[in-house]
């Protein structure tokens, strides 16, 4: 019965054995695990794409090059302290999150 379900007929040399309950449960767990890993990979890919788009938008808006952001350039090293950009991003996120949480 199980062999014909997989597309093999008993004449092909396939055995007619039925899986034991423990083997069947193991297969279900394995398929569930593979499904969960697939979902997790899709979520990670989506978040990565959103972060990438966010970085592109931040660059186009000029954040990170505002007056008040400190840039120290040495011979081989550039150190960047985006103080004003951090303050602006913090204020914007605080306002957006407060509005979103109060609307719920």
Tokens standing for 54?
């966010």
Number of domains in the chain: 2
56 and 78, same domain (yes or no) = no
Decide if pLDDT at 1 tops 60.
no
The more confident residue out of 64 and 8 is: 64
Same domain, 45 and 2: yes
- pLDDT at site 40: 96
| Residue 76 in this model has a pLDDT that exceeds 80 | yes
Q: Are residues 54 and 74 in the same domain?
A: no
Neighbours of 80 (CB within 10 A): 12
The parent domain of residue 100 ranges over 66-104
Beta pairing, strands 78-81 & 70-73:
antiparallel
- Mean pLDDT in residue range 84-88: 92
Q: Mean per-residue pLDDT for 89-101?
A: 95
Looking at residue 22, what is its pLDDT? Answer: 65
Tokens 């990438």 sit at which residue?
52
């Amino acid at each position: 019965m199980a062999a014909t379900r997989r597309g093999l007929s008993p004449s092909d040399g396939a055995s007619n054995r039925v899986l034991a309950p423990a083997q069947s449960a193991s297969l279900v767990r394995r398929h569930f695990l593979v499904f969960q890993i697939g979902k997790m990979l899709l979520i990670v890919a989506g978040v990565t794409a959103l972060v990438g788009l966010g970085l592109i938008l931040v660059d186009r808006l000029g954040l990170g090059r505002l007056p008040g952001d400190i840039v120290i350039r040495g011979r081989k090293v550039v150190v960047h302290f985006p103080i004003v950009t951090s303050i602006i991003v913090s204020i914007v996120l605080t306002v957006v999150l407060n509005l979103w949480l109060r609307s719920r």
